Amino acid sequence: MKMKKIFSMAATGILSISLLAACGANSGGESAESGGSAEAVSLRLAHNQPEDHPVHTSLMELSKLTEENSDGNAKIEVFPNGQLGQERDVIELVKSGTLDMAKVSASALEAFDSNYAIFSLPYVFQSKEHYHHVMDNSEAVQEIFQGTKDDGYVAIGWYDAGQRSIYTADKKVESPADMSGMKIRVQESPTSISMIEAMGGAPTPMSYGEVYTSLQQGVIDGAENNETALTNSKHGEVAKAYSYTEHQYVPDVLIVSTNMWDKLSEDQQKAIQDAAAASSESHKDVWKTAIEESIKTSEDMGVTFYTIDKQAFIDAAAPLHETFKADNETNAKYFEDFQSHLE
């Protein structure tokens, strides 16, 4: 804990200095409203995946396209591997304007803005097509993405992060009864905590960076994530049974500090926004291929994938939908909006 704080403070210090330099360079340019030729900016973007992860590939594409679209007037430098902190840390850095951008899971954002809860609601998306359609077209998503402006950040794009399922050291999970007494790591999201309770397990929230060691040491009995957790994050070395509960599709979200965003010219904003949209689109294929490879690699690591009948889990999670909708009108409106995208 202490180490984390010190690290976080050090990261804040380094970033503040570099951001000040960037602001200095930018201040000579025309104002954002003019859409004119603001001076070149270089934005720092942090995320927690390794460099061989498909999301890193697509963030490098974002970086390349931003530079191209802006004729070099806007650049994005990507810092992978959680080197600037875990998701909670980098969200705080972006909110305070110390870091320009981050790619984080929508579940991590729920601790900062309760409107993000809907993305963690189990089985809120009924298929990949439904999920993609909502993420690309829904007004509710745009409202949630823009809704945090006064809180220091906005979301300007999303990346497919697949479906999440339960994996354990060696136990196949076929029904909520199988989860009884099992400590399952979840993201630091209140909805994900309630989800594991409803699915019969004992939720253990922790940051992603702690999961491998916790599995290895038996602090937790299992976790839940997409297949890249087994390979890119090596969890398949210590967890050998992956059961397709497919309980969530939680998007990865690209956030940018309001402070920095408002300093950019309209042209720079558009260059980044277009790059985000294009890299989100191309990421869908990048992701699909990566998952196919991940499954093969995991099997070579000795992981068994179990296809199960999900109905008992869907039924167990259903009351969460009712509680969510009954909680407030905004929730009910967003829920209805998501469902309206079912084809």
- Rounded CA gap, 207 and 111, in Å? 12
Q: How many CA atoms lie within 13 A of 194 on its CB side?
A: 17
Binding flag, residue 105, ligand GCU (CB under 6 A): yes
* # of chain residues touching ligand GCU (CB under 6 A): 10
Neighbour-count burial of 321, counting CB atoms closer than 10 A to its CB (0-12 exposed, 13-18 middle, 19+ buried): middle
Count of beta carbons in the 10 Å neighbourhood of residue 56: 19
Residue 185 near residue 204 (C-beta atoms within 8 A): yes
Which CB sits closer to ligand GCU, 29 or 82?
82
Handedness of CA 46, 87, 151, 9 (dihedral sign): negative
> Shortest Cβ distance from residue 192 to ligand GCU (Å)?
9
In the range 172-191, which residues lie near ligand GCU by CB under 6 A? 187
Neighbour-count burial of 174, counting CB atoms closer than 10 A to its CB (0-12 exposed, 13-18 middle, 19+ buried): middle
Task: Pick from 225, 243, 257, 294 the residue near ligand GCU by CB under 6 A.
Answer: 225
Tokens of 270: 């558009």
Neighbour-count burial of 329, counting CB atoms closer than 10 A to its CB (0-12 exposed, 13-18 middle, 19+ buried): exposed
Strands of the sheet with 153-159, listed across from one edge: 74-79, 41-46, 101-105, 252-257, 153-159
Which CB sits closer to ligand GCU, 22 or 199?
199
> Shortest Cβ distance from residue 168 to ligand GCU (Å)?
15
In the range 51-80, which residues lie near ligand GCU by CB under 6 A? none
State the residue number with the nearest CB to ligand GCU: 208
Binding flag, residue 89, ligand GCU (CB under 6 A): no
In the range 231-270, which residues lie near ligand GCU by CB under 6 A? 252
- Rounded CA gap, 192 and 103, in Å? 19
Task: Pick from 124, 161, 184, 271 the residue near ligand GCU by CB under 6 A.
Answer: 161
Task: Pick from 48, 73, 248, 269 the residue near ligand GCU by CB under 6 A.
Answer: 48
> Shortest Cβ distance from residue 151 to ligand GCU (Å)?
20
Task: Pick from 125, 208, 287, 313 the residue near ligand GCU by CB under 6 A.
Answer: 208
> Shortest Cβ distance from residue 158 to ligand GCU (Å)?
11
Which CB sits closer to ligand GCU, 160 or 267?
160
Binding flag, residue 46, ligand GCU (CB under 6 A): no
Which spans of this chain sit near ligand GCU (rule: CB under 6 A)?
48, 87, 104-105, 161, 187, 208, 225, 229, 252
